[in-house]
Every structure is written in C-alpha cells, then in structure tokens.
Amino acid sequence: MRKPGPKTHLLVLLLATILTILIKEEWQVHMMVALSVVYLVLNHLSRKVMPFILVYVMSLVIAYIMPQMLGTMKLVFYSFARMMPLVMIGATLMYSPPGSLMCVLERMAVPRPITVMICVLLRFFPVVIMEMQAIRDGIRARGIFPHWYSALLHPAMAYECYFMPLVVRCLKLSAELASSAELRGIESKCSRTSIYPYHFKSVDAVALLIYIIAGTAIYGGGIIR
C-alpha cells in the first residue's frame, strides 16, 4: 500500500499544532498520542513507535515525580509530553526523503529559502545533538575535566572549551551543507522534480479524513466533559 505523502504530513502537522493549542485535558493528550501512533503505523514507521511512547511516558513520570523546586523545568517536561504528538507527526517528515519534501513545498509556492530552512531545522536536531555529545567525549578523552565537578570549579574554561568547538563545528556544517546544496543545483531556477510520488492521492485523502474525524472527536470530547 502506498504511504501518505509529505503534503499530507504537513497538513496533519498543522492540524495537530492547532489541536495541541486547543486541548486542555490530560486524557486528550493521551488520545492524541494514540492517534499519532496510528498515523506512524500507517506510514510504515511501526519500529519508531516504541521509543516515542517510552519518551512520552518518561516525560510524564519525571514531570510528576520531579521536586517542585525545579520549577519551570517541571513545566518543560510536562510541555514536552504535550508536544509528543507533534514530534511523532514531525518524525514522518523527518523520515521522508528531503527531495520529496522540498518538491512538495515548492509546489505549494513556499519560497525556496524558507523550504531550505524548514528542511535544515527538521533534519539537523539529531545531528547537532550528536555534535554536542562528540565535543563532550573529546573533552573527556583529553582529560581536561577529569571529574564530573571539574567543570563547576572552572566555569569560564568549561564555557570556552564547550562553546568554541560547537561554534566552529556549526560554521563548518553550514559551509559544507551550503556547498553541497549549491553543487546539487539548489539555486537553479528550474522547477524541481522528484522521483518520489508526491501527488495528493486517495490514500492521502483517507489518512487526512481519519485524522480530522479523530481530532474533532478528541476536541469535542473535551467540551462535552
């Protein structure tokens, strides 16, 4: 069976964002997570479901057991749990081929710079987190901060040792990515084509309809209660 395309993912993400803002009750968030699980399975991403559910449950548990003195951090975990349906729908975009996403956005008359920015923002979160971990490992390997409290004893040095490699890595990444994109003709004025199917077909309509009906039911349930 053909999977829904990036255009459907974008529309579903928009609907999910509106729903996330509108819903108030906790059970509605649980239902939205369940709906997102169905959407991921529809997109042949069943293997990705379990980690998302685990993160969702852990965020809720941490927000629940976290001491009150941690203040807004508690709110961050709670908000992160609330955001999980969006992350799950966003994952379908992250696992879509960038070429098909760019093609769809271009056909929706989104300016090319915005298209490129959306693709970079969507795909670079895991890359940047990996870079941060690599810097931390590098610092440990060189024995600059041998103990966990060493960074606390020399905060200025820790600041410089951590942020400068990060800044330089970001500069290198942006230069490499821009050169690669230019080499692949990103600035070409020709209309973009894609080897991946991106037209709105019946499977997209069905997926969208299911999401609208279920989303309306979740929102309506909150009003009735």
Partner 1 sequence: MEAAVSPLQNRWTLRDFITLAIFNVVMLIIMTICPIFTFASYLVVGGITALLNAPLYVVMSNKINKRGVLFFTSVITGLYFIAYGYAYFLLVLACMGIVGELVLWGKDGYKNPVRNAIAYALFYVGYSLCAIVPLIFFRDAYIATLSKSYSKAAMDKMLYYYSTPSMAITMLAISAAGGLLGCLIGNVLFKKHVKKAKLA
Structure tokens at 89: 């729908």
Q: Does 186 bind partner 1 (CB under 8 A)?
A: yes
Q: Which is nearer to partner 1, 24 or 199 (CB)?
A: 24
Contact region for partner 1 (CB under 8 A) — 143-151, 175-183, 200-208, 211-219? 175-183
Least gap, CB of 26 to partner 1 (angstroms) = 7
Q: What is the widest separation between alpha-carbon atoms in the chain?
A: 61
Instruction: Determine the Cα–Cα distance for residues 210 and 216; give it in Å rounded to an integer.
Output: 10
Count of positions on this chain that bind partner 1 (CB under 8 A): 51
Scan residues 64-103 and list those touching partner 1 (CB under 8 A): 68-76, 78-80, 82-83, 86
Q: Does 216 bind partner 1 (CB under 8 A)?
A: no
Q: Are 38 and 12 in contact (CB under 8 A)?
A: no
Tell me if 106 sits within 8 A of 191, measured CB to CB: yes
| Binding flag, residue 35, partner 1 (CB under 8 A) | no
Please select the residue that binds partner 1; options are 3, 11, 15, 17, rule is CB under 8 A. 17
- Minimum CB distance to partner 1, residue 202 (Å): 30
Tokens standing for residue 99: 């070429």
The yes or no reply on residue 7 touching partner 1 (CB under 8 A) is no
CA distance to 126, 128, 138, per residue, from 133 (Å)? 11, 9, 9
* 202-224 helix and 6-22 helix, angle to the nearest 10 degrees: 0
The answer to whether residue 132 forms part of the interface with partner 1 (CB under 8 A) is: yes
Residue 125 touching partner 1 (CB under 8 A): yes
Q: Give CA separation, 146 vs 108, 138, 203, in Å.
A: 53, 12, 56
Closest CA to 30 of 222, 178, 224, 192: 222
Residues near partner 1, by CB under 8 A: 17, 20-21, 24, 26, 63, 68-76, 78-80, 82-83, 86, 112-114, 116-117, 120-121, 124-125, 128-129, 132, 159-160, 163-164, 166-168, 170-171, 173-175, 177-178, 181-182, 186-187
